[in-house]
Amino acid sequence: MTRGHPIRLWWFSIIYAAQMCAYGLLLTNLLPFARDALALGENHALWFFAAFASLSWIISIIGGILCDYIGFKSTALVGLLSAFISLQFLSHAYSTPILYLGTAVFILSQGLSTAAIWSLVSQCYNKNSKTRASGTTLFYLIFNIGAFLGIFSSGFWMTSIGYHSMFFYLSFILLMAFIICLFIRTKERKLTFQTYLRRYSILVVISILLIAISCYLLNHPFINNFLIIGLTILSILYLYTYGKISHHSKKTNAFIILCGIAIFYYIAYSCMFNLLPLFARYAMDLSFFGFLLHENNIEFFDGFYVITLGGLLVLLWRYLAYRDIHIALFNKFSLGVILAGLAYLIFAAIIFTDLESKTSVYWFILLFFFLTLGELLVTPTGIAMVNQLAPKNRVGLYMGVWTIANGIAPIFAGLITAFNEINGNMPLVTVNQHSIIVFIALGGTVILVGIIAYFLFRRKMAQF
């Protein structure tokens, strides 16, 4: 134990921070890399990126199933090694097929690593541990530092050494994470060499199939969207049926409700990557303390708040826990959803005060304060609740299904962004008016879901 937290938590946090550093870098650079370096058309590149963002989380469902049957650490190792290989492919991607292959391999790595490492972190604590909330928040804080560094530094690396060299050097950080994970001891029982060989063989075969499927879906984003929605429905039906058969129906139903609520939050969160940059491009003054921000780098505010507010919340949860002051996990979760919706309503009110002028980027400081505080209440709390609600032999599956919210949200966020039909040829007043309507509808819906969830389900969730 280290200051109340298991040493394994720190190692897994550092490992996943490396994974998220690569993911953050790709979130910022994959779209311009595909569009500019490889000359994909604007619409082609946008749909390619949307497919990447959704598949990166949806594959975690299969990753979760593999965790339960093959082992958490084994799945994590294959995921980390795949991340190294994927960045090596991208560092040599001078044609579209290599771009698809490298991206597909990274999607596999993100799906396997996320389900495995999140599950391993949740297993660092007993179900009734006082330090669980602060531990999962600490994990979330550390791996988001990795994502923040990937986003924040990518512009410097891209301009100084170029896309290909950037991917090449970053790959070795993932290789180091793989080596560290190799030497971490977990609670999983030891297996014979033959069993390891058989399980790894199965994992490799399934991984190759997933890479091939991802390559196809990256090139056919509309099929990808329908497939993800269908997979979401099938996953919910499977869990509902499993809960009935295994006599875990109460916990399973509570988990399905939790995932449904989370989808609305993650739609608001995903709009950070398309709806807000679109508005920033056409209707915001992006001068920030003497620097001119690019609309695709506004996620900087989220990363900053995750680091600062995350640290404060870790201290707050530990302070309350050791004084036997307990705030129910679901209450934190509901508050996070409400705060995310409130962020968009406040931003809409700010725009409304002056429709004829561009909105200052400094207002993002307020917007992202509420949006990121909601993020810090929803995601770490959700990870903690998954472990409480999942049967012991299905933690990986449940953790994989939990990531559906992250995977399906970019689809709806893309539809919302498409609905806000603004462009550089429209008068600024019209751009602001259109955007206000979208922000109010989005924020109001998310707030309503959070309030209804709190009053309808808080007692039901308190049973667990």
Low pLDDT (below 50) residues in the chain: 1-2
Q: What is the pTM of this model?
A: 0.79
Whole-number Å distance between alpha carbons of 330 and 122: 17
Q: Diameter of the chain by CA atoms?
A: 70
Whole-number Å distance between alpha carbons of 292 and 18: 28
Q: What is the pLDDT of residues 254-272, one digit of tens each?
A: 888 999 999 999 999 988 8
Beta carbons of 44 and 95 less than 8 angstroms apart: no
Tell me the residue type at 172.
Answer: F
Q: What dihedral angle (degrees, nearest 10) is formed by the CA atoms of 216, 221, 222, 228?
A: 80
Beta carbons of 433 and 355 less than 8 angstroms apart: yes
pLDDT of 128 reads: 67
Residue ranges covered by each domain of the chain: 7-462
User: b or e along 406-440 (b: 16 or more beta carbons within 10 Å of the residue's beta carbon)?
Assistant: bbbbbbbbbebbeebebeeeeeeeebbebbbebbb
Judge: domain 7-462, CATH 3.90.1150.10. Answer: no
pLDDT of 105 reads: 95
Q: What is the pLDDT of residues 144-157, one digit of tens each?
A: 889 888 877 877 78
